[in-house]
């Protein structure tokens, strides 16, 4: 077993010098988090110094904890003080990437036994497929599935009978900056080659595909948002067109099917933030907007909802903060307002006179629409998370 030492974060493999701006931001984060990070690392060290799991519990607790183990494995843990590893699995058959996890517990147990240890499945966490739920109510649980995963992991490990490890690699996470290779039946970690084998696929930082990585911050009187421009044609990095306001993605899809969007426009899809309905991913809007863009229309999406790289070639200002339900400026936008999304200058602006914009009332979400987001598919159980969640810009976290 290998432990993360307190100085782990500063003992990684040699790296290319950071960009000056990234270096300054990193230093600010390091300074700002020094106190809390120090406390956290001290807590880890305290955990590391504890007795093995079986020695921390009473006899009755131990009997319950290891009742399902074969007798010889119980002996290993209790009498021989063998390390006991806890497994938290995300296996399910709904996600193709998670289905292979089905056999992992057996493989981990087998390997642990060969090394003189034991392993138990402590619990499981949920995992949902956004590809299945996109455009449907189940997507409204996607954001909060992160919180549920974290809490489920805590519950799984609450039995407190397991011994902690750092990572499966002896050198910690730094080893993952190397290339794993098979050396007979063992894994060997080799340094990466100095040059890419195919720079049309992977490049070094000295000759990147893009100088910025494709993400831009947009600010203006409509709020703060992020846009991914790596796949957006350069002639679409700036869009200025009248707004068409939608309070749901269903309303936009209905307008597209009715042929009402055959023109230049900026789709403002609001009341899609964390507090409103869990900030669902709006993948379903990309195809119709892409069709309209393909017809030559200037189109863009502005929303307090979420995307995860699926906005593609359509310019999309997403995660707008503050969200409309929390009094954000998207609630001021009216149909016909001229909106300018400028990914070059980094601005998102409703071209409305300042005094008029300031005086505009905030639109309220329709009562029936609000009600529709509160029930069905277990959404009732997540009311507390919607009520307490922070802004998208601060991580949309429900438990801080």
HSE value, Cβ hemisphere, 13 Å, CA-based, for 277? 30
pLDDT in tens, 38-84: 999 999 889 888 888 888 889 999 999 999 999 889 988 888 889 89
Annotation says 196 is catalytic: no
pLDDT in tens, 148-169: 999 999 999 999 998 876 666 6
Residue 104 buriedness (CB in 10 A; 0-12 / 13-18 / 19+) = middle
- The answer, yes or no, to whether residue 129 has pLDDT greater than 70, is yes
- The answer, yes or no, to whether residue 14 has pLDDT greater than 90, is no
In the prediction, which pLDDT does 311 show?
A: 62
Q: Cβ atoms within 10 A of the Cβ of 298, count?
A: 18
What does the domain layout of the chain look like in residue ranges? Answer: 50-159, 215-394
Closest by CA position to 272, among listed 325, 349, 332, 348: 325
Average pLDDT in the 337-341 region?
98
Question: How would residue 308 be classed by pLDDT, with cut points 50, 70 and 90?
Answer: confident
pTM of the predicted structure, to 2 decimals: 0.85
Q: Out of 248, 308, 311, 321, which one is annotated catalytic?
A: 308
Question: How would residue 205 be classed by pLDDT, with cut points 50, 70 and 90?
Answer: confident
Architecture of domain 215-394: 3-Layer(bba) Sandwich (3.50)
């Amino acid at each position: 077993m290998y432990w993360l030492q307190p100085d782990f974060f500063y003992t990684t493999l040699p790296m290319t010098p950071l960009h000056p701006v990234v270096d300054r931001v990193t230093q600010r984060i390091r300074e700002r988090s020094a106190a809390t990070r120090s406390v956290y690392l001290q807590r880890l060290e305290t955990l590391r110094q504890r007795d093995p799991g079986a020695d921390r519990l009473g006899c009755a607790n131990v009997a319950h904890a290891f009742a399902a183990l074969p007798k010889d494995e119980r002996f290993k843990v209790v009498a021989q003080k063998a390390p006991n590893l806890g497994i938290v699995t995300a296996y399910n058959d709904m996600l193709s990437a998670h289905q292979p996890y089905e056999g992992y517990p057996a493989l981990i147990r087998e390997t642990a036994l060969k090394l003189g240890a034991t392993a138990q499945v402590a619990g499981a966490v949920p995992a949902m497929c956004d590809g299945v739920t996109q455009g449907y109510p189940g997507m409204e649980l996607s954001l909060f599935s992160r919180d549920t995963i974290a809490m489920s992991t805590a519950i799984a490990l609450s039995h407190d009978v397991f011994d902690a490890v750092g990572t499966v690699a002896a050198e910690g996470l730094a080893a993952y900056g190397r290339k794993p290779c098979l050396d007979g039946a063992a894994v060997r970690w080799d340094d990466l080659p100095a040059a890419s084998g195919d720079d049309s696929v992977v490049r070094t930082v000295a000759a990147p595909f893009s100088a910025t990585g494709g993400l831009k911050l947009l600010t203006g009187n409509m709020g703060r948002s992020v846009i991914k421009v790596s796949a957006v044609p350069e002639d679409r990095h700036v869009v200025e067109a009248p707004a068409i306001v939608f309070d749901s993605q269903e309303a936009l899809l209905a307008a597209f099917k009715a042929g009402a969007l055959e023109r230049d426009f900026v789709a403002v899809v609001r009341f899609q933030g964390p507090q409103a309905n869990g900030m669902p991913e709006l993948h379903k809007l990309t195809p119709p907007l892409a069709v309209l863009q393909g017809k030559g229309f200037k189109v863009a999406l502005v929303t307090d909802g979420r995307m995860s790289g699926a906005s593609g070639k359509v310019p999309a200002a997403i995660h707008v903060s503050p969200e409309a339900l929390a009094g954000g400026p998207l609630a001021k936008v009216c149909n016909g307002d001229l909106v300018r999304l400028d990914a070059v200058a980094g601005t998102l602006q409703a071209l409305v006179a300042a005094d008029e914009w300031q005086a505009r009332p905030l639109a309220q979400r329709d009562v029936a629409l609000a009600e529709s987001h509160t029930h069905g598919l277990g959404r009732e159980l997540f009311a507390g998370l919607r009520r307490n969640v922070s802004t998208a810009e601060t991580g949309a976290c429900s438990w801080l």
